[in-house]
Amino acid sequence: MVRSGFERVEPVGGEAPLRGDDDFDSGELGGLVPQRPANLKPVAPGHQEIADHRVYPVRQRELDALLAVPRFEHRPAGGRQCLRQDLAADAVVVNQESRFHWRGAVFMGGVKKQASSRLACVNFCQAPSGSGTLARMSFTELTEAFFTKAAGWEAVKNARSLLAGGKVISSNWSPPLLKGVVTEGTSSYRAGLVIKGPVDIDNLCTCRASREGGVICAHSVAIGLHHVLSSKPAPRGSDTATPLPARLGAVRLVAREPEPQPGPKLKRAANGQPLEISVILPPNFVAGLERGKVMVTFEGRWTRGRAPLSALPMNQPFTLAPEDTRLLDKAEELAGNETPGGLMLNLVELTQLLDALGGHPRVALGRGQPLTIGATSWRVPVEVTLETSGEIRMNLPPGLRPPTLIAGESLWAFRGDSLEPVGLPKQWRSLFQAPMKLPRARVPLFLSQELVVLEAESEVDANFTIDEFTLEPQSPRFILALNGGLAQVQAQLQCAYGPRIMTVGVTAKDESLWLPDPKSTTRYSTRDFGSEVAATERMRRAGFSGPDPQGRWNLHGESNVVRFFAKDYPRLQKEWDVSLEERLQHSTTKNFERLEPRFEIRPSGERWFDVEMSLGSADGEKFSAADIQRLILSGNGTTRLKNGRIALIDTGALEEFQEVLRDCAPQQHAKGYRFSNEQAGFLDATFRQQPGWQVQTASGWRERASQQSGATKLTCPPLGLLEDVLRPYQKQGVAWMQFLRDNKFGGILADEMGLGKTLQTLAFLQSCHTNRKLSGPVLIVCPTSLVFNWVAEAKKFTPQLKVVALHGASRHSRFEDIAKSDLVITSYALIRRDAEKYREFEFDTLVLDEAQHIKNRETQNSQAVKAVKTTHRLVLTGTPMENSVLDLWSIFDFLMPGYLGSAADFKERYEQPITRDKDEAVQARLGRRLRPFILRRLKTEVAKDLPAKLEQVSYCELTDDQAEIYKQVLAVSKKEVMDAVGAQGLAKSKMVVLNALLRLRQICCDLRLLKMEDAKFTDDDSGKLEMFSELLEEAIDGGHRVLVFSQFTTMLALLKDKLAAEKIDYCYLDGSTTNRGAVVEKFQGNAKIPVFLISLKAGGVGLTLTGADTVMHFDPWWNPAVEDQATDRAHRIGQTRVVTSYKLITRGTVEEKILALQQKKRAIIKATLGGEETLADNLTWEEIQNLFE
C-alpha cells in the first residue's frame, strides 16, 4: 500500500530533508551538511537552477509515496502565494545503495546523474522566464538496452519473439509500475515490473520461471518492449506557470491521499463457469520468509485450462466452492481489492492467508509437492507443574521435537508436507524455546483466567486440580487511630488482611491484589476494594478531609469534633478497631458524657404491646420528650449538662427511631406508644442495631420478637417420612412457615433457585395435615409450566395428600373434587378465568408460586388471587424484587394488607429514597421491617448442607398444537417401526427406530424443528420454551450464569433469537465454531454475559466453564453420562459455588420415558457403556415398544 503523509520541511541550515510518517533513524541526519555536486548542471537547455542548492538523503518509500500522489501543495513561509502542480510522476532514480538524494526545496525538478558518483540527485530548477512551464522530472528511459541490462540478452531475445508474434495484448507504464497482458500457448499472463531503480526491479509475472527462478522473464520484458515501441515523447513547454522564486524558504508539503481505485477483479456468479483455485508456495518459502517476503502464486483451472487468476477474463462469471471463496476474499484483500496472480507476502500477511486456507485441497510447494493445510489446530501438549514454592512451572514434554514454526498473527507448524495451525495461545509461544515459571503473585490470574484458554486450545497435563486452590475475597479489618484534641482530630485509617496491613487510600490497587497464604501453596485471598472505598466515603461523611499522601485524615473545629464523637464515633467503635491516643482519650473522658435512651416494653392484650422511652444522665438529670425532639431537630446531638460536661446524644439513632414510629404508625398515649404484634420483629431488630440502648421487656415478648426477627432458632415440627429427606436448612424453612401460621402472619419463602422451595412447602403442608391443623384444602397457584411439576413433586414426596390439578379444558368437571382434596393446583392464567368459581370456596392456605406474577397490583392476576377466601397466605419466589422496590409492596399487600401502608406512602418513604437517592439507611430500615416475613437463603450460605451438584427435573406440558401433532406423528412412527422390525428384524431396523424417536423428541422441543411446509409456529407454541423462559428469568434475576445444552443446533438457533429479542447477552458454541478458546475466554472473563448456548456434542467435553453455576439440559440425551459430562463443564475444578442442573422434560412423551430408562439403567450404563455407545444402542424390543405407547 502506498503511504503518503508528508507534513512539513523545516529549515536545518537553510532547509531540511523531507519527512513522511516515519522519522529517520536516530543519528541519520546528524551533522548533515548540504552538498552541491560540482558537476551538477541544469537538466534542459534554457532552464536555470534554483539558487542555493541543497542535497539531502530521502527514503525510498517516501519518494514512492510522493510520486503516487496526484497533487501536492507548496506553501512558502510567510503566507506567500500557494502553488499547486500535478506531479509528472516519471522521474525516479535510485543509486545502487537504494538511497535517494533529494535536492533543493521540495518541489518539481529534473534529475541529473553524476558520472563520478553513484549518487542520483534531484535537481530542482525553474523554467526560463516566460516559457510558461515548470521543469518536468525526467526518468532513465525504458529502452531495449535498459531491459537487456536488467534481464539479460536471452530474455530480450524471447521477448522480441513474443512481440513479433503479436502475443503482447496490452502495456502500460505508470512509474514505477509497468504492467500488461501476454499470451503464450494456451496460457495468458498478467505480467509486469516494479522499476524502483536500475538494479532494484521486482518481477510481477506469475509464470514458472518468475516464481521458481526469481528472474525477470521474457513476458515482462515483452511488455516493456511493447511500451517502448508504442510510446511517443510528450511535448514540452506548452503550459503556462508562474516562475518560481529564486530562493525557496521553509516549505510545507501537503500530500493528498489518492482515492482508491479498485483493480480488475474476477466476476463471481452462482451460474458461472466452475473455477478451482490452486495456491503455489515456493519450495523454500521458509528461507524466503527469513529474508523478508515470499511469492505466492494463485492459479485457476476452468474449462479452457489453467492460468494465473490475474490472467483470467475478468468479464467471465465464475462459480467458486466455499473454500475457494474464502481464499479469494483474503487474496483480494491482501492485493488491494483486485484479483492477484501472485503476491509478495511478508510473514504477517502469509499467516493471514494461511488462516483462510485451512482445509483447502489445492495447495502445493512448487509444482510437484502437495501441501496439506490443516483445518484444525495442533493441540500442543503442555506440562503444568505446581512446585513446592507455590510457583507454577510450564514446559513442553522433554521428548517433543517442535516442528518449524511460522509465527505471524497466528502460529503455524510446518512439517515438510503439511502446515497446521498451532492452538497454543500467543502468550505461551515462548515455551517452544524454554520453560516458563509463574511466580506466586501471578498464579491466581493464571488459574482464574488463563488456564481455561490454555485448556481449550492445548493438551494440558497438570499435577494439580483447580479445586485444590482457595481463591476468595477476604473482608478487611479496619483500624482507625485517632489523636489530637477538641479543636482538631487527626486520623490514620488502615486495613488488615491477615498479617498484611495497608493504608487505605494510599496503597495502590495493584499492590497485593492477590494475597498468598504463606502457610499454604494453594490458598489465596483478594483485597476487597469495595469495602476500602466505602471506608473512605464513611470518613468523609464523618467530616474528615483526606487522605494526604501519608494517609492522614483531618477533622477541624470543636463543633465538628463534638458532632463526630456524638454521632459517628459510637458506630465506628462497633464495626472497626478504634483507638484513641492518650491525650485525646483524657480530653474526651473529662469533657463528654454520653446519654443513651431507655425503653420499657410491656405486652398489652393478645395483639398489642406498649413502648415507653426516656433519656437521662448518670447524675439523674432527665430530658423530656420535647427536649429529645428539640435535640433531634437541631441535628447537633449535644447539650450542656448541669455539671458542666457536654452531653453526647446519638441523634442519628434517635432519628432512626422516629422513622420507626412513622413506619409503624402506633397509637400514641400519655406514656408512650402502642404497637401491633406484627411489628415486634421490626422493633427487636432495631433495638439490636443499637447495643447502647437499654431495653427492658417482658420475657414472653422478647422470645416471640426474637423468633420473629430471626435472632432465635425455631423448632421444626415432626416430618414423618420426610425427616430424612429434608436438609437442615429446609427443616428450618418448615419451622419458619409453621411459626408464621401459628401467629397468623403471612410470609415469603425466597430461597435461591435450586434450594427446594416446593419440597419445603409440601413438607410444611404435610405436617399441618398430619397434625389436623388444616381447616380446608390448600390452593396452590403457579405458572402454567409448573402445574405438573407440583403434581409430580406431591406424588413423590407427599403421596398421602389428595391432589387435584385444575388444568386444561376439562378442569370444570373437577371443581366438585375441591372439597374432598388436600391440595388444589392451578395456574395464574386459569384462576383469572375461573375467578367467580373460586369465590364459592374457602381455603385454609393460599400458596402463590413465582409471585412476581402479582407484582403489579392492578393486574387481573393480583385481583383474582386477592379475592380468594383463605386464612393463611404464603408466597414462594426466588426473585422477590424483580424490577422495583414497589414489587415488594404488591406482594405484601396480598400477604398482610396494610403492613407496609398505602402504595403512595410506601413509594414516598421507601421506593424513591432507595432507587433515586441510594439511601442506605432507608434500605437497611426496610430490610429490618421485611426480614421477619421473608426467609431467603443463598446456596453459598447453606453450602455445608448441600452436595456440590444439585440435579432437578423440571416437567412441562405440550401445547395444544404440539399435543395434536405429537399424536399424529406417534401413530405414523409406531406403524413404521412395527413394519420395519417385522420385515427385517430389530438389528437392521435401528435407524428406523432412531429416526422415529428423533421426530418425536423434536416435537417435544419445538414444532419449528420439524420444518413443516406452510406451518408458521412461534415461541408460544412450545411448552418447553415457556418453562425455559421461567427458569432462565429466575436464574438471571438471582445473579446466576447459565449453560444451556441442546443436541439440536436448530433449537439453539431459536434460543439465540429469543435471547436477542429479550436483549439478553449470550455466547454461542457449536461444531462450526472455529475459535473455541476465544468464545470460552469471553464467557469466563465477562460476568455480564449470563447465558452460554452450547451444542451438546461440541461443548459437552473439554471445556472449563466455572463462570456458570447453573446448567439447563433443554432436551435429554440417550446416554446420561454425556449429560453428566456437560454438567461438569461448570461443576469442575475451580468452581467455588454449588452447581444446579435442570433437565427439561415434557410430560407424557417419549422424553419422560427416556428419563425413566436412564434412571432404570444408569448403573448398567455407567459400568458397561463407553465412548459413543448410548442407551439407544442397547434398547430391547420391549423397551422400544414402550417408547411408542
Residue 1151's CATH number: 3.40.50.300
**Could you tell me if 388 and 369 lie in one domain?**
no
Considering 448, 464, 480, which residue would you say is the last residue of a domain? 464
State residue 112 phi and psi, 5-degree precision. Answer: -130, 125
Complete DSSP assignment for 1135-1181: --S-EEEEEEEETTSHHHHHHHHHHHHHHHHHHH--TT--GGGG--H
**Could you tell me if 801 and 862 lie in one domain?**
yes
Indicate yes or no: pTM above 0.75.
no
226 lies in some domain: no
pLDDT of res. 605: 72
Give me the domain span that covers residue 171.
Answer: 149-219
For residues 650 and 675, is the Cβ–Cβ distance under 8 A? Answer: no
Residue 68 has pLDDT above 70, yes or no: no
Complete DSSP assignment for 117-128: -S-EEEE-EEPP
Sheet holding 523-526, edge to edge: 470-473, 523-526, 514-516
Tell me whether the omega of the peptide bond preceding residue 243 falls within 30 degrees of 0, making it cis. Answer: no
Cβ neighbors of 817 (< 8 A, separation 6 or more) are: 804
pLDDT of res. 1162: 60
Using CA atoms in the order 581, 584, 590, 591, what is the torsion angle rounded to 10 degrees? -150
Q: Which range has the worst mean pLDDT, 64-68, 559-563, 996-1000, 1001-1005?
A: 64-68
**Could you tell me if 368 and 402 lie in one domain?**
no
User: Which H or E run includes 683?
Assistant: helix 680-688
**Could you tell me if 1101 and 1179 lie in one domain?**
yes
**Could you tell me if 294 and 195 lie in one domain?**
no
pLDDT of res. 1056: 93
**Could you tell me if 499 and 435 lie in one domain?**
no
Cell numbers representing residue 1072 in the block: 462450526
1001 lies in some domain: no
Considering 664, 680, 709, which residue would you say is the last residue of a domain? 709
**Could you tell me if 837 and 915 lie in one domain?**
yes
For residues 191 and 223, is the Cβ–Cβ distance under 8 A? Answer: yes
Distance CA 1033, CA 1045 (A): 17
Determine how β-strand 842-849 pairs with β-strand 778-782: parallel
Which has more confidence, 558 or 15? 558
Q: Which range has the worst mean pLDDT, 261-265, 1124-1128, 1172-1176?
A: 1172-1176
The closest of 849, 863, 715 to 778, measured between CA atoms, is 849
32 lies in some domain: yes
> What are 710-752's pLDDT values in tens digits?
667 788 888 888 998 898 999 999 999 998 998 889 999 988 8
Considering 373, 389, 420, which residue would you say is the last residue of a domain? 373
**Could you tell me if 1169 and 1035 lie in one domain?**
yes
**Could you tell me if 911 and 1044 lie in one domain?**
no
Cell numbers representing residue 1043 in the block: 449453560
Residue 769 has pLDDT above 70, yes or no: yes
Residue 230 has pLDDT above 90, yes or no: no
Residue 468 has pLDDT above 60, yes or no: yes
Distance CA 843, CA 765 (A): 13
For residues 940 and 1137, is the Cβ–Cβ distance under 8 A? Answer: yes
**Could you tell me if 449 and 499 lie in one domain?**
no
Taking CA atoms, 688 is separated from 575, 662, 691, 736, 804, in Å, by 14, 19, 6, 21, 46
Q: How confident is the model at residue 109 (pLDDT cuts 50, 70, 90)?
A: very low
93 lies in some domain: yes
976 lies in some domain: no
589 lies in some domain: no
- Return the amino acid letter for 525: S
pLDDT of res. 1161: 62
Residue 99 has pLDDT above 60, yes or no: no
183 lies in some domain: yes
**Could you tell me if 730 and 696 lie in one domain?**
no
For residues 242 and 134, is the Cβ–Cβ distance under 8 A? Answer: no
Domain count, the chain: 8
Cell numbers representing residue 844 in the block: 385454609
The closest of 282, 322, 252, 277 to 8, measured between CA atoms, is 252
Q: Which range has the worst mean pLDDT, 376-380, 621-625, 1049-1053, 1167-1171?
A: 1167-1171
Q: Which range has the worst mean pLDDT, 169-183, 203-217, 908-922, 1086-1100?
A: 203-217
Which DSSP letter does residue 502 get? E
851 lies in some domain: yes
Distance CA 126, CA 1092 (A): 72
Cell numbers representing residue 790 in the block: 407440583
pLDDT of res. 372: 93
Q: Which long-range contacts (CB under 8 A, 24 or more apart) does 859-866 make?
A: 860/832, 861/828, 861/831, 861/832, 862/890, 862/894, 863/835, 864/828, 864/831, 864/832, 864/835, 864/838, 865/781, 865/828, 865/831, 865/894, 866/893, 866/894
Radius of gyration of the chain (CA): 43
**Could you tell me if 771 and 900 lie in one domain?**
yes
Average pLDDT along the chain: 77
Cβ neighbors of 138 (< 8 A, separation 6 or more) are: 43, 90, 91, 110, 111
> What are 877-887's pLDDT values in tens digits?
887 765 577 88
State residue 60 phi and psi, 5-degree precision. Answer: -55, -50
Determine how β-strand 577-580 pairs with β-strand 592-595: unpaired
Complete DSSP assignment for 797-845: H-TTS-EEE--STTGGGGGGGGGG-SEEEEEHHHHHHTHHHHTT-EEEE
pLDDT of res. 749: 93
Q: How confident is the model at residue 276 (pLDDT cuts 50, 70, 90)?
A: very high
Q: Which range has the worst mean pLDDT, 195-209, 785-799, 867-881, 886-900?
A: 195-209
